[in-house]
Chains A and B, each alone.
Chain A
Amino acid sequence: MARVRTGVRAMGAVLAAVLGASLVGCSSTGGKRAEERAARAAAEGRAAVDTPRWTFAMVTHSGDGDTFWDIVQRGAEQAAVKDNIKFLYSHNDEAQQQAQLVQAAIDQKVDGLIVTLAKPDAMKDVVTKAVKAGIPVITVNSGSAESKRFGALTHIGQDESIAGEAVGEELNARGRKKALCILHEQGNVGHEQRCAGAKKTFDGQLQNLYVEGTNMPDVQASIEAKLQADKDIDAVVTLGAPFADAAVKAKRTAGSKAEIDTFDLNAKVATALQDKTLGFAVDQQPYLQGYEAVDLLWLYRYNGNVLGGGRPVLTGPQIITAKDAAELAQYTKRGTR
């Protein structure tokens, strides 16, 4: 036991030494201080209206730690602050669990509900139940086809097929002949629709490649292998921003000339677009999906407004190239684009 205690004490001493060293061994470039110096984050929000403090719940199919949903959530939270809304967020990537979370929101008698319909069949009962209970529902991101049928007011999001088609057209405009579509989640309907959409409008040949999204080195090695196997590939399209970077590395190692393009945006993608490492990015503006959902629910509560006229309100696709990237880079850094 004595040995253990001295071990702990030694560890504490080392830790203290490290903390001390870190103050001396400062980095004069980058880091938190640089960021704080560079720009103060957007000012603390304050409610712009004096409507009653309604409670809105948002339940998504996001997995843990998904960058995309983080931005959606941020948009919703900022709209909630502005609209004097109490905002509740929950998520689960298992359809059954997501349905239970929606049920919990109904039990809480929320004043408005925002849900994603990634697995529409599993969500049908519980969403119609919410509508019957008199809770206005807005669907976001996925489920544009089912939204109206389930009784939702509006659907806000990008049509994945249309987004894919936009990619196919952009590839044509760039004179590409053989493209690779990287799917990082096997069995995700939205992913399949994107690649299928791109295949539809692309004049050249497009192949799908599945990779293990939770294992970045594996993603890189798989793309590398594919580029080595087929030297004719001149475009690689990844379906999520973090995977674009892995694709860039894979391209370099494989000695390929392919152009790397991606869905979604983040700080690294914005920089890579600027220095032309990436060709283009297709953004569906996740911030808008969260922000608009809360705002439209507020409008409905306050003023009976409905947007879209029964059709989905599209937030994308927006094709971003080097030209727009410079301006967007600052927004990606603060996590709203």
Chain B
Amino acid sequence: MSTTAGPSAPAGADERLLRTSPLRRLLGRPELGSVVGAAAVFIFFSIVADSFLRASSLGTVLYAASTIGIMAAPVALLMIGGEFDLSAGVLVTSSALISSMFSYQMTANVWVGVFVSLLVTLAIGAFNGFMLTRTKLPSFIITLGTFLMLTGLNLGFTKLISGTVSTKAIGDMEGFDSARKVFASQWTIGGVEFKVTILWWAVLVAIATWILLRTRFGNWIFAVGGEADAARAVGVPVIRTKIGLYLGVAFAAWVSGQHLLFSFDVVQSGEGVGNELIYIIAAVIGGCLITGGYGSAIGSAVGAFIFGMTSKGIVYAEWNPDWFKFFLGAMLLLATLLNAWVRKRAEATK
């Protein structure tokens, strides 16, 4: 890590200055294992499922991947920073509920609700970060608390305000159409429909990658994830970094939440539970270490893509649906194992 400034070795022998071949460098990338895994999953379903290779199927698989990937990118960054967020799944639902209910109750232009939702969602993210850095409790406990509180608030508030457990339809309100264009539109390219979430996903992954590899904040993320105390000792603002990471997750939750709202018009308050694990799984398949300090944003995208291919590939293959969950679990496990194996081989060749 560039932040651990030890006594400098003689310039010629410094391993950091050694020239490495492009192949070596490629093998050292954290997402390499997952790319190989993704290729394996892709080839597998291309063989067993006739309709998997059709162009229209690509749009469907990418959509499934993008709804996970949008969240997996900031979750991956958070994991590299050494923390978890178990509230990420329900936060998406909270975000959708807030903008829907605010617009409806205030009879406001839908965009006002969208903006309020952004503020509140970021505030919840900040709450996670503040609590974590203040109390020094593990993020597992903090965000588990937030997860439960949000689940209760989602239900309680929705029922209190709209009288039922789902929100009222806001499809006839002003601003809905333009908001739908931003968060839930789709394009047809060559007869294949692509959802706008794919674009959001690509942009978020690109931004996350840029932050991670090209900015000072990116170095801080690796540093606090690797060894927080050492990072603090060399002047990394640990608290600000961690809060920033939670804000990132909150922002992505807002994007996903708005997609949920504007593509389905009505939001069910009980949704989202369990999705936080899927985001974490996508990040782990993508090469993030659960212990922090290692991983990449592109890897999380590949992880989300593997998840999208697996869950939809099973449908395309028309397998007996009784075994759905089993296949899903087995595929994920295999992909992760392959990923770990490739990484070990890659590190051995160094």
Contacts and interface: CB of A to CB of B under 8 A. Distances in A.
B84 interface: no
B321 A70 contact: no
A214 B109 contact: no
Interface string B80-106: 000000000000000000000011111
B163 A215 contact: no
B76 to A, nearest CB: 19
A25 B113 CA distance: 10
Contacts of A335: 163-164
A103 interface: no
A228 interface: yes
B43 interface: no
A210 B174 CA distance: 36
A228 B54 contact: yes
B263 A249 contact: yes
Instruction: Please classify the interface of chain A as helix (H, G, I), strand (E, B), loop, or mixed, using the class held by over half of its residues.
Output: helix
A27 B316 contact: no
Contacts of B318: 229-230
A104 interface: no
B330 to A, nearest CB: 16
A66 interface: yes
Interface string A245-278: 1100100011100000000001110000000000
A180 B165 CA distance: 28
Nearest to A181: B321
Contacts, number: 186
Interface string B169-198: 111111100000000001000000100010
Q: How large is the interface on A (under 10, 10 to 19, 20 to 34, 35 or more residues)?
A: 35 or more
B107 A33 contact: yes
Interface in A44-77: 63-67, 70
A67 B174 contact: no
Given A245-B264, A335-B163, A209 B172 contact: no
A208 B321 CA distance: 7
Interface stretch (B11-19, B139-147, B271-279, B283-291): B271-279
A246 B184 CA distance: 13
Contacts of B280: none
Given A11-B119, A22-B108, A31-B173, A229 B67 contact: no
Interface stretch (B21-29, B32-40, B58-66, B341-349): B58-66
A315 interface: no
Given A27-B109, A29-B173, A186-B325, A217 B64 contact: yes
A249 to B, nearest CB: 7
Nearest to A25: B109
7 contacts: A15-B116, A22-B109, A26-B106, A31-B106, A65-B158, A218-B64, A228-B60
Interface of A: 11, 14-15, 18, 21-23, 25-35, 63-67, 70, 183, 186, 207-210, 214-218, 220-222, 224-226, 228-230, 242, 245-246, 249, 253-255, 266-268, 335
Interface of B: 49-51, 54, 56-57, 59-61, 63-64, 67, 102-112, 115-116, 119, 123, 151, 154-155, 158-159, 163-166, 168-175, 186, 193, 197, 259-260, 263-266, 268-275, 278, 308, 311-312, 315-316, 318, 321-322, 324-325
